[in-house]
Amino acid sequence: MTAYDPDNIFAKILRGELPCEKIYEDEDNFAFMDIMPRGPGHCLVVPRAPIRNILDAGDEVLARLCPAIARVARAAKKGFDADGVTIQQFNEPAGGQVVFHMHVHVIPRFDGVSLGPPASNMEKPEILAENAEKIRKAFG
């Protein structure tokens, strides 16, 4: 098992050292907008615990993370009036993981609209703020 790097970008976001567009938080989890979205409303849900990926996560962390993912997914679908939601989670470089703090992608989806390429275009901060507000308003 590779050691967790406390200086990864998501750890810095969790500590408040880097800005983000927060959309949800609870005692164990945090959700914010992906700055390089594959579609409108693309956000990330991360556990607060210092865990590299699902291969390192204990059952107790996953049991607390899954309800947060579902809450964010429902709010993202509602906030964007989407037709569906894609949920993705990558593990280790061979599995497509780039940031080594466990995270789950939640992406609102629309019939006939393909996802954009991963990590390709940085979204404008004002668009991220607008999209975050749509999701925040949809929590109920």
Q: Domain coordinates of the chain in residue numbers?
A: 9-138
Given this model, what pLDDT does residue 140 score? 74
Kindly state which CATH superfamily the domain 9-138 is placed in.
HIT-like (3.30.428.10)
pLDDT value, residue 119: 78
Q: Which residue has the tokens 């500590």?
A: 15
pLDDT of residue 2: 81
Low-confidence ranges of the chain (pLDDT < 70): 1
Contacts of 62 (CB under 8 A, 6+ apart): 54
Annotated catalytic residue, options 42, 101, 103, 105: 103
pLDDT at position 39 is 95
Q: Is residue 42 annotated as part of the catalytic site, yes or no?
A: no
Dig out the tokens for 128 from the structure. Answer: 């991220």
